[in-house]
Amino acid sequence: MFFSNSKKNSSVKKNNEEVVGFSHIGQNAKFEGEIDSKGEIEIAGKVKGNINAKIVKILETGLFKGKIFAKEVFFYGKVSGNVYSENVNVSKTGFVRSNIYYSGIFGIEDGANFSGKAVKQKKDQIVKSADKLGSKTGSVDKIIPFKVA
């Protein structure tokens, strides 16, 4: 079949090699849908949907609407929607309209525009609430990519 070897190949490669660098959604890009990454993702364009990644950065030109499940989150741009992450950082250029559920550190820089709840929770509670909201992976630690049917 067309994709018959793909799963075997990709899983072997993913185990052996670690990806260096980060994925980037460009300034002129518009994306709607789910993003699932084992590493870092940077958003400079417009994105609507959910993100599941280790590190998420919404850059100054970035505009994001949706839920974020991550270990590390940096906001330099505009964000709305719930955030579930160990550590969350809002920069002075950040414009955030979100409820933030974190287990580690939540930082807001002087000058940041933030409106919403910031709730410190235990790590497993964050995973649970992520589960409730229908996160595809259900775990902040384990990030499993979608299967291509």
Partner 1 sequence: MPTIILKDTTLVGNITEKDGFTISGIFKGNIKAEDAILEQESEVVGNIAAEKTAEISGKVLGDVNAERVVLKNTADVKGKLSHKSLIVEEGAKIQIVSSTTKK
* Pairwise CA distance, residues 34 & 25, whole Å: 13
Does 6 bind partner 1 (CB under 8 A)? Our answer is yes
Of 93, 139, 99, the C-alpha closest to 119 is 99
Contacts of 91 (CB under 8 A, 6+ apart): 74, 75, 76, 109, 112
Nearer to partner 1, 12 or 105 (CB): 12
Does 65 bind partner 1 (CB under 8 A)? Our answer is no
Q: Which of residues 26-45 bind partner 1 (CB under 8 A)?
A: 26-39, 41, 44-45
Does 138 bind partner 1 (CB under 8 A)? Our answer is no
What is the SS3 assignment for 11?
helix
Nearer to partner 1, 44 or 127 (CB): 44
* Pairwise CA distance, residues 60 & 45, whole Å: 9
Residues that bind partner 1 (CB under 8 A): 2-3, 6, 10, 13-14, 19, 21-39, 41, 44-45, 49, 53, 145-146, 148
